[in-house]
């Protein structure tokens, strides 16, 4: 048996979650966010699966957009960070890629560009995120300048919500007020990320931009999953060692965990070299043959140790589920002081991606 570190992607769940986004925002177009290799799930397999139900795709940069075009996908593709230098503009025009415009220099670069096909642009307004975008008082002049350029096609408005994961947030309300006062009804607008798509009809506007919700993880602060969503990724590995250690025996580097009694200890074929979080604390759950066990000792590059007292019949070769339907990625993220987004994105190429339909992806 070859070393197992496998992320199984449930394509049916992926489609289901996109359908949830469409039901929550029935009057909006849907821009599926595929940046960072579709949040670690695989850019092209995810894009092809969502192609029928999505109106557009969003990626971070040109390097993420080109594979979609080369794969034959003809959807609108929006570069959320726009272009990084003027040399990219001709490629955007040739490949029919939309640019998010968030800096004055980008407008001037478009003014100087020698292109035959106009580029559709999304003017980003910083309504309170404090990241990319023109301040509200700067945005009208930027819009006017963009609209006068022959190399620019349709201009749409965009903003990003800083606190949409907090329901009924006053920050979100203030951002939407600023954005609405600017955008009016003169052109299409987008503000809603996953959290605002699920909870916040006032933010839906013309386009919603579901990201993490497509992959079945909750965008909200609680550790559970939104009841309408289905987990997409199941991360699995296998037990490669099972032995009994005596009371007082240390486990792993630095002996962070010391056996309180004679106990069975398993070694699972995954580690931080695969993207499994090195900061995993003692007690973080791992499912062994359906039984909830616990991480013990520091995570190594290729291995993690688990307490098998809850699964005394476990044997070498048995399946270990690191996250999926149970435990949820959001729960694991909570143990590690991070978010499910990071868990998904940091999985390395050493983890095999397998694409299937339906659930229950046990090793078998």
pLDDT for 220 equals 87
**3-state class (DSSP) for residue 277:** coil
pLDDT for 223 equals 52
335 is catalytic: no
Note whether 164 and 59 are same-domain residues.
yes
pLDDT for 3 equals 87
As a three-state string, the secondary structure of 177-226 is HHHHHHHCCCCCEEEECHHHHHCCHHHCCCEECCCHHHHCCCCCCCCCCC
Note whether 208 and 67 are same-domain residues.
yes
pLDDT digits (tens, 9 = 90+) for 66-103: 999 999 999 999 999 999 999 999 999 999 999 999 99
| pLDDT higher than threshold 60 for residue 225 | no
pLDDT for 185 equals 67
| Rounded Cα–Cα distance for residues 320 and 315 (Å) | 11
pLDDT digits (tens, 9 = 90+) for 318-354: 999 999 999 999 999 999 999 999 999 999 999 999 9
Cis peptide before 191 (omega within 30 of 0): no
- Residue whose tokens read 């039984």: 291
Q: Residue 362: inside a domain, yes or no?
A: no
**3-state class (DSSP) for residue 191:** strand
pLDDT digits (tens, 9 = 90+) for 171-195: 999 999 999 999 776 789 999 999 9
| Rounded Cα–Cα distance for residues 200 and 178 (Å) | 16
Half-sphere exposure (Cβ direction) of 78: Cα atoms closer than 13 Å: 26
**3-state class (DSSP) for residue 259:** coil
pLDDT for 359 equals 58
Q: Residue 295: inside a domain, yes or no?
A: yes
Q: Residue 42: inside a domain, yes or no?
A: yes
| Rounded Cα–Cα distance for residues 4 and 237 (Å) | 5
The answer, as to whether pTM is greater than 0.75, is: yes
Which one, of 31, 145, 182, 43, lies nearest residue 98 by Cα? 31
More confident residue, 364 or 185: 185
pLDDT for 222 equals 65
| Rounded Cα–Cα distance for residues 35 and 142 (Å) | 26
Count: domains in the chain: 2
Residue 234, Cβ density class (10 Å: 0-12 exposed, 13-18 middle, ≥19 buried) = buried
Note whether 111 and 144 are same-domain residues.
yes
pLDDT for 183 equals 79
pLDDT above 70 covers a percentage of the chain that reads 97
Dihedral sign computed on CA atoms, order 291, 314, 1, 4 = positive
pLDDT for 362 equals 44
pLDDT for 361 equals 46
pLDDT digits (tens, 9 = 90+) for 97-149: 999 999 999 999 999 999 989 999 999 999 999 999 999 999 999 999 999 99
Residues paired with 98 in a beta bridge? 78
| Rounded Cα–Cα distance for residues 162 and 151 (Å) | 32
| pLDDT higher than threshold 90 for residue 314 | yes
In angstroms, what CA-CA distances link 119 with 126, 132, 224, 338?
22, 20, 41, 37
| Rounded Cα–Cα distance for residues 284 and 299 (Å) | 11
| Rounded Cα–Cα distance for residues 120 and 151 (Å) | 9
Domain boundary among 188, 215, 242: 215
Contact 357, 12 (CB under 8 A): yes
Please give the structure tokens belonging to residue 360.
């229950």
From the candidates 124, 243, 253, 341, which is the catalytic residue?
253
Note whether 112 and 242 are same-domain residues.
no
Q: Residue 160: inside a domain, yes or no?
A: yes
253 is catalytic: yes
Contacts of 63 (CB under 8 A, 6+ apart): none
CATH number at 78 reads 3.20.20.10
In angstroms, what CA-CA distances link 166 with 16, 33, 329?
24, 21, 19
| pLDDT higher than threshold 90 for residue 309 | yes
| pLDDT higher than threshold 80 for residue 310 | yes
Cis peptide before 246 (omega within 30 of 0): no
Please give the structure tokens belonging to residue 248.
């007082």
Query: How many helices (H) and strands (E) in the chain?
Result: 11, 18
pLDDT for 364 equals 34
Q: The domain containing residue 88 runs over which residues?
A: 11-215
| pLDDT higher than threshold 60 for residue 1 | no
Note whether 337 and 263 are same-domain residues.
yes
Instruction: Provide mean pLDDT across the span 281-287.
Output: 98
Note whether 65 and 153 are same-domain residues.
yes
Contact 5, 352 (CB under 8 A): yes
Q: Where are the alpha helices (DSSP H) in the chain?
A: 11-24, 35-40, 43-50, 62-70, 89-94, 104-112, 139-147, 170-183, 194-198, 329-336, 340-345
pLDDT for 97 equals 98
Note whether 155 and 262 are same-domain residues.
no
The whole-chain average pLDDT of the chain stands at: 95
Q: Residue 73: inside a domain, yes or no?
A: yes
| pLDDT higher than threshold 90 for residue 227 | no
Note whether 124 and 193 are same-domain residues.
yes
């Amino acid at each position: 048996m070859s070393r197992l570190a496998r992320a199984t992607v449930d394509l049916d769940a992926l489609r289901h979650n996109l359908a949830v986004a469409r039901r929550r925002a029935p009057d909006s177009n849907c821009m599926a966010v595929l940046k960072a290799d579709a949040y670690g799930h695989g850019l092209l397999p995810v894009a092809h699966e969502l192609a029928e139900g999505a109106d557009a795709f969003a990626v971070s940069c040109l390097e993420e957009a080109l594979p979609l075009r080369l794969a034959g996908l003809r959807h609108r593709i929006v570069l959320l960070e726009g272009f990084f230098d003027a040399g990219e503009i001709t490629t955007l025009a040739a490949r029919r890629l939309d640019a998010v415009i968030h800096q004055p220099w980008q407008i001037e670069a478009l003014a100087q560009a020698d292109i035959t096909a106009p580029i559709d642009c999304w003017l980003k307004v910083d309504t309170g995120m404090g990241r990319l975008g023109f301040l509200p008082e700067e945005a009208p002049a930027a819009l006017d300048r963009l609209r006068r350029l022959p190399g620019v096609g349709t201009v749409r408005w965009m903003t990003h919500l800083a606190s949409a994961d907090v329901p009924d947030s006053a920050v979100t309300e203030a951002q939407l007020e600023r954005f609405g006062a600017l955008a009016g009804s003169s052109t299409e607008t987008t503000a809603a990320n996953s959290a605002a798509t699920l909870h916040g009809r006032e933010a839906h506007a013309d386009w919603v931009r579901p990201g993490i919700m497509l992959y079945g993880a909750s965008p909200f602060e609680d550790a559970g999953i939104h009841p309408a969503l289905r987990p997409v990724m199941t991360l699995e590995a296998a037990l490669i060692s099972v032995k009994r250690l005596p009371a007082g025996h240390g486990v792993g580097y630095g002996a962070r965990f010391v056996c309180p009694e004679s106990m069975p200890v398993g070694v699972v074929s995954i580690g931080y070299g695969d993207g499994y979080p090195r900061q995993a604390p003692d007690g973080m759950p791992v499912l062994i043959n359906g039984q909830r066990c616990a991480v013990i000792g520091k995570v190594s590059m290729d291995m993690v140790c688990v307490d098998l007292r809850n699964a005394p019949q476990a044997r070498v070769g048995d399946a270990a589920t690191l996250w999926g339907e149970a435990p949820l990625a959001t729960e694991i993220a909570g143990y590690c002081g991070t978010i499910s987004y990071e868990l998904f994105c940091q999985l390395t190429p050493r983890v095999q991606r397998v694409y299937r339909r339906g659930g229950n992806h046990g090793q078998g």
